[in-house]
Chain A
Amino acid sequence: MQRILYILILIVVLDSCKKPYNSPVDETANTILVVEGTIAAGVDAENTFLLSRLRPLKDTTLNNPEQGASVIIESQGGTNYALNEIAPGNYRAGLSLPNSGKYRLKISTRNGGQYQSEFMVVKQTPPIDSLTWVQDGDAKIFLHTHDPSNNTKFYRWEFTETWEYHAFFDSDLGFVNGQIVFLNPSQLTFACWSSASGGSIILGNTSALSEDRVSYQPILTLPNPSPKASFKYSILVRQVALTEEAYNFWNILRKNTEVTGTLFDPQPSQLPGNIISVTNPDEKVIGFVSVGAVTEKRLYIRNAELLAWPQRPAEDSICKVVDAEPNSVEFLKQDTTYGPAFFVTGGGLRLAKKNCMDCRRRGGTTVKPPYWQ
């Protein structure tokens, strides 16, 4: 009896241990402007800036874009280059800014806020020497670069992965208005391409080295058996040279969000940005605008070059043909998850699951990227 009482008391105590915490932070008052982008000098360089607002912690929306702002790159000589909003909060322009100038970003938001970064010289970025990979079960991708003039020292890399993958069956048949039809080449859904951009901050610092050289910088590990390498995989790595201040900004952002969570991690630090509000100097703005050039390099990996890397994702194990002759048309009308696969000589039509014939169902597009080799 006593033991039961003790257990009951223990349950009461433990049960009330964890409770939701009402944070004293007034989240609605914090609509801080967030600016991301690099002023890219050079011939016909892509200049893209993403503008958004801080979201409350309980907000599950993926983005809170700042729309309808005027975004201008200004040179110290007084020339203005305007960016156009191509998507909500996404401002871009292809510009040819001379490398010799000094530039800053100016933003006017819809609600009358004026923001600007400081004038900065163009920091040159050396080319990426090479991208290499080794397979140790998983495939690890490395970057190599160097600056013979020993001026770069601080690097940041971004990447975009693109991969070609194939459906299980290569079908040239379609089912349109109750009829089996042959598809023209642009309608085929056998080969698809998908893309994804990396979400981790990759930084390099050679300031403690006698030579400004980066070797075997890890960019990404492709886990085996990732379907990204089921046929042909490609990664485009962009390299940006940073000033020491910009490097600190990205390094603190990385430490605050990628290495916190255990007892011995450092406390989060304040982000030292370089954008100020002209209208209200006390207003906080998140972001660091660098002025530089972006260099890039692409690497391809074919499935045949990899060891023991499956060409088929596991879900393709359901793919088999169905013989419903002579009632194929009725079958397709009733079960819309199936489609016509191919004709066999003397045996009529064979059917299969659409998931096994339409590669778009795994998220890609049948439009081949223009650079694809």
Chain B
Amino acid sequence: MIEQDVIKTKGRAYGIEMLLKKPNGKLNGWLSYTYSRTFLKVDDPLAGETINNGNEYPANYDKPNIVSLIANYRFNQRFSISLSSTYSTGRPITLPIGTFNMGGAPRVLYSERNAYRVPDFFRTDVSMTLEGNHNQKQKLHTSWTAGVYNVTGRDNPYSVYFILEDGKINGYQLSVFATAIPFISFNLRF
């Protein structure tokens, strides 16, 4: 029965969102800020086990602060630059704290559920676009875009994991774009 396999969890979420937008003009774009919290609570003693002694803990996707900025500046009909930047609090993680022996084997002690956070996420992409001619009769409109992904080269961890190596528990973090990556693209519109 599914009622016996699923433990009842109480959730509580709140937050506020703000958005500033400038849709027109040479300089356009928006700035948004979100403050949001999500907590979970498993305190039903009949379920056999509680989490964090029945106290609230942050959900896996609890990221309190998220800021994003999109800005475009159009120099003329054919040339524009744009910037896109995102910051968010690192997501919660349960970390191993230490090892001990019990039941004839080494064991790992973990922190309270989601008591720590992975490092904050921050990434900025910049690009510039050069349009081809704007002749109305032309069937194919072309443009060139060049820019840099993650221009600050911040090493944003995508995940954090621990493995046992030579009797030691070592932590590693995986990043997808750990350096600034330049790009060029050729666009066709028809």
Contact = CB atoms under 8 A, between A and B. Distances in A.
B103 A248 contact: no
B101 A17 contact: no
B103 A21 contact: no
A59 B101 CA distance: 13
A324 interface: no
A19 B105 contact: no
A84 to B, nearest CB: 21
A286 interface: yes
Counting chain A residues whose Cβ lies within 8 A of the other chain, the interface size class is 35 or more
A21 B98 contact: no
A199 to B, nearest CB: 3
B4 to A, nearest CB: 10
Contacts of B155: 16, 19
B170 interface: yes
Given A16-B178, A57-B169, A248-B49, A34 B110 contact: no
B100 A256 contact: no
Contacts, number: 138
Given A54-B100, A55-B98, A252-B49, A17 B107 contact: no
B48 A248 contact: yes
Counting chain B residues whose Cβ lies within 8 A of the other chain, the interface size class is 35 or more
B94 interface: yes
B8 to A, nearest CB: 16
A27 B98 contact: yes
Contacts of B96: 23, 25, 57
A17 B169 contact: no
Contacts of A62: 101, 106
Contact of A36 (B48, B53, B98, B102): B102
Contacts of A56: 98-99
Top 4 nearest A-B pairs (CB, nearest first) are A199-B105, A21-B171, A16-B178, A54-B98
Interface of A: 9, 12-13, 16-25, 27, 30, 32, 34, 36, 50, 52-60, 62-63, 158, 197-201, 248, 250, 252-253, 256-257, 267-272, 286-287
Given A16-B178, A54-B109, A252-B49, 14 more contacts: A13-B178, A13-B181, A17-B176, A19-B172, A55-B98, A55-B99, A57-B96, A59-B99, A60-B167, A198-B104, A200-B104, A200-B105, A253-B102, A256-B108
21 contacts: A9-B181, A12-B179, A13-B176, A16-B155, A17-B174, A32-B109, A53-B100, A54-B99, A55-B98, A55-B99, A56-B99, A57-B97, A57-B98, A63-B101, A158-B103, A256-B110, A257-B105, A270-B53, A270-B110, A270-B112, A287-B102
